[in-house]
Amino acid sequence: MTAQNRLLARMSPALYEKLAPNLKLVSLPQGKILHHPGEVIEYLYFPIDCMLSITITMKDGNTAETGIVGNRDVLGINAFMGGQETTQTEYIVQIAGKALRIEARLLKEEFDCNKEMRDVMLRYTQALIAHISQTTACNGLHALEQRLARWLLEVQDRIESDELRLTQEFIGDMLGVRRAGVTQAAQKLQAEGLIEYSRGKVKIIDHQGLEASACECFRTVRDEFDRLLGLGGDRKKFL
Amino acid sequence: MNQKQDSSPLILMVEPDDETRPLLKYNLKTQGYRVIAALDEEDAIERMMGKFHCPDLILINQFGQSIEETVDVGRRICTISGLPKDTPIVILAERYGADLEGKDVQVGDREYVSYPEDGQQLMDLLQKICPV
């Protein structure tokens, strides 16, 4: 099986071959909830062309995304930590597609006995913490249109498509802002010729311009992923 | 981008959200409108009282109130500020389902509710009611 998830591609052939028999290719439909708060994590997912979100829903029903997971990531890192459940986060499929799924028990066994496995997973965890930290600061400091541009670039980078099926309500939930704010921010980016947005579809038409319009956070996080996991130079090799 | 002209239509925009307000104002100005931005009903009335501003249209973003209540906000701004009774009022709906998305609904003689599926829909409605 060809590794199309960039984190799996980061592993040595020997480690990947060891995992491969336990990796099951699954199709994930949009909206499917993969994990509810409080549940023990049974599977980890290595996305290939889907996008998964880690979200938190407050008592008043408002939801915000706290993590974005695509083909440079793995979903379910709590499985190899001390507490194997999450108390407040939910995992949901935001863009349908395929992923490689592995039983948490099997990955934990390998994590406990294989130094390379621990190294890859802990480096990924460090990159994820960097991402969450940067996003927290970004949400507090940067303008909405910069954050929208940053988020669209992050999604594009994880599903490797310029056409994203995303409603404004969904984007509002993910950014933790009002729908009207997303509508107006997208209108501004469209007027600047960076994206096309219509009927729940976003098309990035000027990637460089969108990066220039975004805050520094997209580039900072991507550089940190590349530094920790060496995904930058090999990016094309595994596509 | 159209340049702002003194003769271009004037929109009184009521937008309580600090993140949305500058974006909506920017987008309206890009379309060629002049804009007075207000935070809420009280602020809007204050900005209209004793001034020579006479907006060609009032645009209100629904925020924590029903559509009916938001329409009433527009009517009170007109009445208390002494604006012409035929000043169009457009409500930008906040929460709505897929059944309404993409629709613009006229709810009175001069009152409209827009349920935008994208930003261009609102601009098209404004252009229809209040052309630049």
Cα(A50)–Cα(A234) distance, integer angstroms:
20
- Which of A187, A189, A198, A201 best probes binding to B when mutated, by most B CB atoms within 10 angstroms? A187
Please tell me the predicted confidence (pLDDT) of residue A3: 45
- Tally of domains in chain B: 1
pLDDT tens-digit profile of A179-209? Answer: 899 999 999 999 999 999 887 889 999 999 9
Is B113 part of a structural domain of the chain? yes
pLDDT of A4 over the 70 cut:
yes
Is B42 part of a structural domain of the chain? yes
Is B61 part of a structural domain of the chain? yes
Is B5 part of a structural domain of the chain? no
Q: Are A49 and A16 in contact (CB under 8 A)?
A: no
pTM: 0.86
- For residue B108, the domain's CATH number is 3.40.50.2300
Is B4 part of a structural domain of the chain? no
Chain A nearest C-alpha distance from B37 (Å): 15
* ipTM summary value: 0.87
Please tell me the predicted confidence (pLDDT) of residue A232: 54
Most confident by average pLDDT, A85-89, A131-135, A163-167: A131-135
Which has more confidence, A111 or A139? A111
Fold category of A143-214 in CATH? Arc Repressor Mutant, subunit A (1.10.10)
pLDDT of A85 over the 60 cut:
yes
All residues of chain B having their beta carbon less than 8 Å from the beta carbon of residue A177 are 19
Q: Write down the H helix ranges in chain B.
A: 20-30, 41-48, 67-81, 119-129
- Judged by phi (left if over 0) then psi (alpha if -120 to 50, else beta), residue A214 lies in beta
Chain A nearest C-alpha distance from B70 (Å): 15
Please tell me the predicted confidence (pLDDT) of residue B43: 95
Is B2 part of a structural domain of the chain? no
**What are the structural domain ranges in chain A?**
6-112, 143-214
pLDDT tens-digit profile of B22-62? Answer: 999 999 999 999 999 999 999 999 999 876 779 999 999 99
Give the model's confidence band at A72: pLDDT under 50 very low, under 70 low, under 90 confident, else very high: very high
Q: Which pair of tokens denotes residue B124? A: 């098209």
Q: Do B20 and A180 touch (CB under 8 A)?
A: yes
Q: What three-state secondary structure class fits B35?
A: strand
Q: Are A84 and A104 in contact (CB under 8 A)?
A: yes
Domain A6-112: CATH class, spelled out: mainly beta
Q: Do B94 and A179 touch (CB under 8 A)?
A: yes
pLDDT of A60 over the 90 cut:
no
Cα(B63)–Cα(A86) distance, integer angstroms:
34
* Domain interval for residue B30: 10-129
Residue (of A194, A192, A170) closest to A183 by Cα position: A170
The C-alpha angle B95, B101, B106, rounded to 5 degrees, equals 90
User: What is the DSSP code string of A118-173?
Assistant: HHHHHHHHHHHHHHHHHHHHHHHHS-HHHHHHHHHHHHHHHHT-SEEE--HHHHHH
Mean pLDDT of A102-108: 94
Residues in B lying within 8 Å of A, measured between beta carbons: 1, 17, 19-20, 23-24, 26-27, 30, 61, 92, 94-95, 102, 116-120, 122-123
Q: How many CB pairs under 8 A join A and B?
A: 61
User: What is the DSSP code string of A5-54?
Assistant: SHHHHHS-HHHHHHHGGG-EEEEE-TT-EEE-TTPBP-EEEEESS-EEEE
Cα(B14)–Cα(B55) distance, integer angstroms:
12
